[in-house]
Structure 1
Amino acid sequence: MTDPLLHALVALLGERYAEPGAAAGARLSDKHQRYHGKARAFVRPASTEQVAAVVRLCAEHAACVVVQGGNTGLMAAATPDDSGRAVLVSLERMNAIREVDTANDTLTAEAGCILRQVQLAAEGAGRLFPLSLGAEGSCTLGGNLGTNAGGTAVLRYGNARELTLGLEVVTAEGEIWHGLRGLRKDNTGYDLRDLYIGSEGTLGIITAATLKLYPLPASRATAYVAFASLADGVALLAHARAGFSAALTGFELMAADCLALVAEQFPGSVLPFDRLTQPWYALLEVSYHGDHADAVALMERVLEGALEQGLITDASLAQSVAQSHAMWQLREHMSEAQAREGRNMKHDISLPLSRIEAFVASTAVQLQAQFPGVRHYTFGHLGDGNLHYNIASPRGMSVAAHMARYHALSRVVHDNVHAHGGSISAEHGIGQRKRDELPRYKSTVELGLMRRIKRALDPHNRLNPGKVIALENDTL
């Protein structure tokens, strides 16, 4: 063993949990194999104290640190660069539920917990942890917090930042901030919690969090609705919010082409309507604290009003838990359906609800003018303005030829997002994939403030360098 850093890491963690970087294997690449890196060492600490000790050793040996959870992110934020300077830190062994406090409606969990594990721990205590997304069976809490994950219940409960009360964080110096407070009011200075959430491992390493819990709904009602335009969809959302109030927990948008693609790629799927006669559809869910019959009656009443106002042309209500599950499967299979058809260009964007229709219409016109025949697969969380605006290759064009135009095509999409007052990243983060796009869409003041924060909390650019924001003249 010739590397003194690896020798010190083995002395700290043992040979089983401190290995040469090559031992990381597939973890050295991102989920979609777009980015590939190297690591000086690969470590799996079991406690916050060990994480802090690893960071201190890296500081002593002029190494940087890249932290990784489930490696399910889409922006390659957890992939080291190819310099081989980084120690890749997996938090997979830090997977304990430390406490469930039903009196305070909080749960404290370590960052390596799989999201589904956190959900089940809450359910076991008769509570709900509402963060829910497609990768919940493999993504980790630390990654959810590092990217400020959203998912399907943001409309009612907010994203990861809104669901978190306290954090435990290892700083760039290897200190530990013990901030696991289960307080809903704590006005004692700068909100460090919100600074670390969404920072993608560039400001500190989140090792545990205290999360908000909610009562488990007694019943749910689920429905698909069809409508003629996005303007009608936005008006329907306002109508649903007024009619359901806080009971409205899901409002998921899918274009007709998306539903057709899911049915094609998953032959056992059952569409909510015999024919897809409208260009747009939405999946609505109501979480209710009364009995199921009351939830269904409320759904029927609100949707009847939408029909009378001409906001929707048809509706299909789930009549059983199995039907509700089948409806959600249509939404949850969307990403996999695209993958089965072939790689496409994914854009995770957010827009003011009032600008969504104009954005979709104008962007489609520009894309067809410059890239004739491209196919649009638009779906997402309409309730919070988050669209997954995905572009597939024209019929007959190879996927490779289509993806070669990624930067030119995405420039059209992102420029239009910006022109309509939106954001080029809604819930996936920036990582390294969108890092160089930020200067085009953020002001010099914003970028300057971000760089000052990074340099203040990580003056040697030791934590996840090269991600989120580019720093000039920074060396380890």
Structure 2
Amino acid sequence: MLTVTTKTSQQENLLAGLRAVLGEHGLLTDANDCARFTTGARYGQGSTLAVLRPDSHEQVVECVRLCADAEQAVVLQGANTGLVAASTPDASGRYVVLSLERIKKHIEVDVINRSVSVDAGVSLQELNEALEPHGLFFPIDLGANPSIGGMIAANTGGARLVKYGDVRQNLLGLRAVLMHPAGEVLDLQTALRKNNTGPDLKQLFVGSSGAYGIITRAVLQVHRIPKQTATALVVPRDQAAVLELLSVLERDCSEFLTAFEGVSGAALQAVLKHIPSISNPFAPEPVPHYCVLLELASTADPQVTGIDLESVLMRCLENLFGDVVENAVVGRGKDLWRIRHAISEALRHEGKMIAFDISMPRSSFVKFRDEGLALMAEKYPWIKVMDFGHWADGGCHFNMVWPSAEQAESTNAIPSYDAQVVQQIRTEIYDLVVNTYQGSFSAEHGVGPYNLDFYQRYTASSSRQLAGELQTMLDPKRLLGLTWFGE
């Protein structure tokens, strides 16, 4: 429900000043026009005083100055694809949304330096479309199409992190607007890979959920598009064999390994059930208990190196058949990746999703998964665990579904969805991840209102204190964002 907010004279004066800076198309106040900016990608429906849509860095600076002078709270928003409610306002109506979606005029490619200077509002797809003619790409592989500024604020990783790293590892420089001093610009736009002249201040903004400043431009390291790839969907002997397979690939194919994605049989079944265009790759054999999507890639010319990656992959898997590997489909890369990218959509058709974005040392995965599945089967037997994830980088989406009545697989009654029970499940799983297996409750999605309680629960007091002191220094009146990192 959209909340109608009665504006004070101070707010009216602020909106008049913002309208003078942004123009009629740059400032939205009508509830219907604002609706898409106040609805989260997965969670939350909020309300806003107005949506600010600057189309330049200079307009961002002026908006920040006006909002700071009026002590107006601001929520930053890129493509609004985040999953922890950090980019959408709450229901109070006291925030304005500062959307960077129109700041997307500049994509300046330096082919020799293998870098690009790009405005924060440019989407990942738009960036890669601009890089492709140069034989380059930004290799953060995601199911969504976020903006570059949002990717930095969340430090996104994706399916190919094992080869290319996350955003943090590919960020060379940035430009940010500070809330204090109001509108001051911190220009860290360097294209250098080596610069040891003091603290690396750009890293303050990475993974900060927009709480430390407003990124308006970034300088990114980009990579050459592979000239050949080899893909396989592999059925391991059991869970322990997944790690054996990973160890062999890293030993024998390490420079080529770009992805190693686990997919549970339950998740694959959901894809086949709800996405009609995707068929069982193992047919006529049934869906396996678990499978691994793996990819090798090389930017080298095979005519120069004499290396055929598909042959390399086939030989590697053949050596493991009967011991580590039970079955495999090799080739059909686009079809196999479609399965992986369709999982989240398929799970939504099963009922209400309970999503987990966790990580831990890879050596703990098998024990955690066994214990997590046992916990759910014993205490919450009606919940379906449909997990998948990035085994090679320690990430796991231990996702679950609270089935709807239509999706019930038996005549047994399924309890009505209960938010308190879901919170209890989250706490039990996160306690297992963090306290037992020294993992993280948020591997990729960052910290926002949706998981702020867990940040307070699991983050050391000394870390929260330092993060809060930095935030207070940069935003003493706490006007920027919905996330407070302090005590």
1:379–1:389 CA contact under 8 A, matched in 2: yes
**Cross-structure match for 2:326:** 313
Q: 2:473 aligns with which of 447, 456, 471?
A: 456
Instruction: Give the secondary-structure state (helix, strand or coil) at the position aligned to 1:194.
Output: helix
C-alpha distance in 1, partners of 2:178/2:327?
Answer: 54
C-alpha distance in 1, partners of 2:38/2:442?
Answer: 24
Unaligned runs of 5+ in 2: 1-6
C-alpha distance in 2, partners of 1:194/1:246?
Answer: 27
What is the 5 A alignment of 1:149-188? Answer: 149-172=156-179, 173-188=182-197
Instruction: Give the secondary-structure state (helix, strand or coil) at the position aligned to 1:59.
Output: helix
**Cross-structure match for 1:29:** 39
Residues 144-183 of structure 1: CA deviation (Å, up to 9, x unaligned): 1110011111010001111111111111121111111100
| Correspondence 1:94 to 2:103 | yes
1:402/1:236 CA distance change after superposition, 3 Å = farther
Residues 54-80 of structure 1: CA deviation (Å, up to 9, x unaligned): 011001111011111111111010011
Matched AA of 1:436: D
C-alpha distance in 2, partners of 1:409/1:213?
Answer: 40
What is the 5 A alignment of 1:344-359? Answer: 344-359=353-368
**Cross-structure match for 1:474:** none
1:398/1:8 CA distance change after superposition, 3 Å = farther
* Length, aligned pairs only: 462
C-alpha distance in 2, partners of 1:463/1:232?
Answer: 47
**Cross-structure match for 1:417:** 433
| Correspondence 1:379 to 2:388 | yes
**Cross-structure match for 1:206:** 215
C-alpha distance in 2, partners of 1:341/1:367?
Answer: 17
1:277/1:25 CA distance change after superposition, 3 Å = closer
**Cross-structure match for 1:272:** 281
1:354 Cα offset (Å): 0.6
C-alpha distance in 1, partners of 2:232/2:352?
Answer: 30
**Cross-structure match for 1:291:** 302
1:202 Cα offset (Å): 0.5
1:402/1:261 CA distance change after superposition, 3 Å = farther
Matched AA of 2:163: R
Q: 2:483 aligns with which of 457, 460, 467?
A: 467
| Correspondence 1:406 to 2:422 | yes
Unaligned runs of 5+ in 1: 472-476
**Cross-structure match for 1:393:** 402
2:268–2:287 CA contact under 8 A, matched in 1: no
C-alpha distance in 2, partners of 1:56/1:28?
Answer: 23
Instruction: Give the secondary-structure state (helix, strand or coil) at the position aligned to 2:321.
Output: helix
C-alpha distance in 1, partners of 2:117/2:459?
Answer: 35
1:393–1:402 CA contact under 8 A, matched in 2: no
1:98 Cα offset (Å): 3.1
**Cross-structure match for 1:241:** 250
**Cross-structure match for 2:463:** 446
C-alpha distance in 1, partners of 2:50/2:269?
Answer: 46
Residues 269-313 of structure 1: CA deviation (Å, up to 9, x unaligned): 1322122464210111111223397111111122122326x2211
1:380–1:387 CA contact under 8 A, matched in 2: yes
**Cross-structure match for 2:150:** 143
C-alpha distance in 2, partners of 1:236/1:296?
Answer: 17
1:154/1:146 CA distance change after superposition, 3 Å = same
C-alpha distance in 2, partners of 1:47/1:250?
Answer: 37
C-alpha distance in 1, partners of 2:360/2:195?
Answer: 31
2:280–2:287 CA contact under 8 A, matched in 1: no
1:10/1:421 CA distance change after superposition, 3 Å = same
1:398 Cα offset (Å): 5.5
1:91/1:437 CA distance change after superposition, 3 Å = same
Instruction: Give the secondary-structure state (helix, strand or coil) at the position aligned to 1:438.
Output: helix
1:21–1:38 CA contact under 8 A, matched in 2: no
1:150/1:456 CA distance change after superposition, 3 Å = same
2:48–2:89 CA contact under 8 A, matched in 1: yes
**Cross-structure match for 1:301:** 315
C-alpha distance in 2, partners of 1:324/1:10?
Answer: 50
1:97–1:121 CA contact under 8 A, matched in 2: no
C-alpha distance in 2, partners of 1:216/1:16?
Answer: 38
1:468/1:156 CA distance change after superposition, 3 Å = farther
Q: 1:426 aligns with which of 425, 440, 443?
A: 443
What's the TM-score, normalizing by structure 2?
Answer: 0.91
C-alpha distance in 2, partners of 1:283/1:45?
Answer: 42
What is the 5 A alignment of 1:65-76? Answer: 65-76=74-85
C-alpha distance in 1, partners of 2:65/2:240?
Answer: 54
C-alpha distance in 2, partners of 1:50/1:157?
Answer: 34
Deviates more, 1:324-333 or 1:120-129: 120-129
C-alpha distance in 1, partners of 2:175/2:53?
Answer: 18
C-alpha distance in 2, partners of 1:398/1:164?
Answer: 47
1:222–1:317 CA contact under 8 A, matched in 2: yes
Instruction: Give the secondary-structure state (helix, strand or coil) at the position aligned to 1:344.
Output: strand
Matched AA of 2:223: Y
1:403/1:264 CA distance change after superposition, 3 Å = farther
1:422/1:104 CA distance change after superposition, 3 Å = same
Residues 360-412 of structure 1: CA deviation (Å, up to 9, x unaligned): 11122222222123211110111111100012226355685255521011111
| Correspondence 1:337 to 2:346 | yes
